[in-house]
Chains A and B, each alone.
Chain A
Amino acid sequence: MVELLDETPRVRSVVLDPPDWGGHLAGQHVDVRLTAEDGYQAQRSYSIASAPEDEHLVLTVERLDDGEVSPYLVDELRPGDELELRGPIGGYFVWEASTGGPLLLVAGGSGVVPFRSMLRHRAAAGSDAPARLLYSSRSLDEVIYRDEWEGLGADVRFTLTREQPEGWTGYARRIDGELLAEVAWPPAERPLVYVCGPTVFVETAAEALVALGHDPARIKTERFGATGGR
């Protein structure tokens, strides 16, 4: 582990320099395995936040208070420590520049992590595929990579569902059919849609997109349950 970056009060990015890393695709994840001195092990999956082109492998982890692996990664891990990784894993929820667009990304909370990888990849690869991210957070404090979105060359739109700063001009409501109709390209333009977030969020967004007429076969989802640890 090279470096630990504070993203929000509950979220940190773990910057890694894994030896013999064979590369990954934007949207893939890794398994992290922890081993206690007595041999007890715990493992969880985490989305990769870095682009394939980036120098280091970055995992962004939300601390789940009742979690087992995430509190260790966020609070205990120090630069120089070693971490046992397996991956990259998953070949479906991925986007490559050659896949094209329009690319619509819909994120709830830390579900935005794989989309950072995709949008950084899109920028690094010089892709001209139109890309739009609709990112739902509870408050501005909880927006991950807050200072980075503007520089990625994508159309990023925020909705803050619980608390908005004074003078906030973005959206301030939960994602539903009305908001998606406003933000998404029309179904006739056949956007490729990725939805990632907590289960209820993903169910709601994916169902609303289907109801708007988007082809279910062009909607890819990734969900994590209340127990998280994804």
Chain B
Amino acid sequence: MPISRGFRGRGRRDDVDPGRIPPGQYLTGDFPVLSAGPTPHTPLSEWTFSIRGSVDDPVSWSWDEFRAFPSETVTRDIHCVTKWSKLNTVWTGVSVDTLLEGVETSAEYVLAFCDGGYTTNVPLEDVTGGRAWVAYGYDGEPLDPEHGGPARLLVPHLYFWKSAKWLRGLELRADDEAGFWETYGYHNYGDPWKEQRYAGD
């Protein structure tokens, strides 16, 4: 690799376990916002959460029904493809395992869909087995609209664009359909530890 003349790197951290920072990432204490369009504001009275696609019986819950599911509070590190990572973020939400209980499907992929038309695709096995949540709380408070409230997907082991904001449901699919950023050149899977930022990584 070429050396950048005169670059010493002031961002080195000796107070953090380097094993928690994926390659090419830097730590931030802020919570930067990135989105492709205006922040939607769907009233909770009109908000629903749907499981659809290749399922025997599609379901749709109101906000109150969704909130009645047992919740979990988890602490996770998150990694954005724009290079920032944030450690020990605290989220409250419903495990995707809980939402999919009793759902019969042969699907292998999920297309998460959102207010504003955003979508993102993940393999079903990446949002089950205690690896993903539909989060409505951040740091003990309701999730801010600019951070994806009322509810967003949380898939912390993948780059954070997979943790879709303003989530309205999951479409279970037999085939893998590329989501929004995935069609604009970002990696289809997005493992930060393999630095899968862009198509071809």
Query: Distance (Å) between the CB of B179 and the closest chain A CB?
Result: 12
Binds A, one of B26-34, B56-64, B122-130: B26-34
Chain A proximity of B97: nearest CB distance (Å): 32
Q: How far is the CB of A8 from the nearest CB of chain B, in Å?
A: 23
- Expressed in whole angstroms, the minimum distance between the Cβ of B68 and any Cβ of chain A is 30
Q: A226 and B82 in contact (CB under 8 A), knowing A40-B12, A68-B10, A203-B39?
A: no
For residue B160, give the distance in angstroms from its CB to the closest CB of chain A.
Answer: 13
Q: Return A61 CB to nearest CB of chain B, in Å.
A: 14
B22-80 contacts to A (CB < 8 Å): 24, 26, 28, 30-40
B88 at the interface (CB under 8 A from A): no
Q: Contact at B3–A37, with CB atoms within 8 Å?
A: yes
Residues of A within 8 A of B30 (CB): 225-227
A residues less than 8 Å from B159 (CB atoms): none
Of the candidates B12, B24, B39, the one whose C-beta lies within 8 Å of that of A207 is B39
Judge whether B19 is part of the interface by a CB distance below 8 angstroms: no
Q: What are the residues of chain A within 8 A of B39 when measuring CB–CB?
A: 203, 206-207
The yes or no answer to B191 lying at the interface (CB within 8 A) is no
Which of B11, B32, B116, B180 is the one whose CB lies under 8 Å from A225?
A: B32
How many residues of A are counted as interface, with CB atoms below 8 angstroms from the partner's CB atoms? 44
B96-122 at interface with A (beta carbon < 8 Å): 116-117
Residue of chain A at shortest CB distance from B12:
A40
The residue from A37, A44, A81, A207 contacting B83, defined by CB atoms under 8 A apart? A44
- B189 is an interface residue with CB less than 8 A from chain A: no
Asked if B37 contacts A35 (CB within 8 A), the reply is: no
Q: With contacts A40-B12, A84-B1, A199-B146 known, is A76 near B6, CB below 8 A? A: yes
Q: Is the CB of B82 within 8 A of A45?
A: yes
A229 at the interface (CB under 8 A from B): yes
Residue of B nearest to A37 (CB): B3
Bound CA–CA A203/B147 (angstroms): 11
Q: Complex formed: what's the CA distance from A137 to B38 in Å? A: 22
Nearest B residue to A40 via CB reads B9
Q: Is B193 an interface residue (CB 8 A)?
A: no
Q: How far is the CA of A219 from the CA of B1 in the complex (A)?
A: 40
- Judged by a CB distance under 8 angstroms, whether A179 is at the interface is no
Given known pairs A72-B4, A209-B38, A227-B84, the reply for A199 and B9 (CB within 8 Å) is no
Residue pair A35, B38 in contact (C-beta under 8 Å) = no
Chain B residues within 8 Å of A221, by CB: 35-38
Q: Are A35 and B7 in contact (CB under 8 A)?
A: yes
Q: Select one of A33, A72, A82, A199 contacting B33, CB under 8 A.
A: A199
Contact present for B38 and A92 (CB under 8 Å): no
Q: Do A216 and B1 touch across chains, with their CB atoms under 8 A apart? A: no
Can you name 13 extra interface pairs (CB under 8 A) apart from A45-B83, A216-B37, A216-B38? A35-B1, A35-B4, A41-B9, A68-B10, A76-B6, A84-B2, A199-B32, A199-B33, A203-B33, A219-B37, A219-B38, A223-B32, A227-B84
Provide a sorted-by-A list of 6 A–B residue pairs whose CB atoms are within 8 angstroms.
A35-B4, A36-B4, A82-B4, A92-B36, A93-B36, A217-B117
* B interface residues with partner A (beta carbon < 8 Å): 1-12, 24, 26, 28, 30-40, 82-84, 116-117, 146, 180-181, 183-185, 198
Give 6 closest A-B pairs by Cβ, nearest first. Answer: A225-B32, A206-B38, A91-B184, A68-B11, A34-B4, A40-B9
